[in-house]
Amino acid sequence: EVLERLGPDLGSLSLVHREPGGDLRGVAARRAIRVQVRGSGRVGGVIAGVLAAAGVGRVEVLDGGRVEPADVAPGGLGPDSVGRLRADAAAGLVR
């Protein structure tokens, strides 16, 4: 399932890493990365979701605030997140 979702990434990595299996090593390296996103408002939530979807191994979101209506964004925090803790709502984007 993960490799299927990362098909476009494998295609571009195979252009950069031309040796056999180089694309898979690139994905494995990406899965080993740990990223911390500080702030999960309108932009931070989207970034956290994109990093996780790109195969980054661990995306940790730090934010002590609550989701406001202005934080809702396509591909990020949804309207059902309003009022929840931002870090908890963003955690759903990175699973």
Q: Please check whether residues 16 and 53 belong to one and the same domain.
A: no
SS3 label, residue 41: coil
Q: Please check whether residues 27 and 37 belong to one and the same domain.
A: no
pLDDT digits over 50-94, tens only?
A: 898 888 889 999 999 999 999 999 999 999 999 999 999 999 989
Q: Please check whether residues 57 and 47 belong to one and the same domain.
A: yes
Number of domains, the chain: 2
pLDDT of residue 54: 81
Distances (CA, A) of 5 to 1, 35, 72, 83, 93: 6, 20, 25, 31, 15
pLDDT of residue 1: 58
Q: pTM for this one?
A: 0.73
Task: Say if residue 15's pLDDT is above 80.
Answer: no
Q: Please check whether residues 67 and 83 belong to one and the same domain.
A: yes
| pLDDT grade for 22, boundaries at 50, 70 and 90 | low
Q: Please check whether residues 22 and 48 belong to one and the same domain.
A: no
What range defines the domain where residue 13 resides?
A: 1-32
Residues near 85 by beta carbon (within 8 Å), at least 6 away in sequence: 63, 64, 65, 66, 67
Q: Please check whether residues 58 and 95 belong to one and the same domain.
A: yes
Asked if residue 83 lies in contact with residue 65, where contact means CB atoms within 8 angstroms, the answer is no
pLDDT: which is higher, 34 or 16: 34
In angstroms, rounded to a whole number, what is the distance separating the alpha carbons of residues 36 and 24? 24
Q: Please check whether residues 48 and 93 belong to one and the same domain.
A: yes
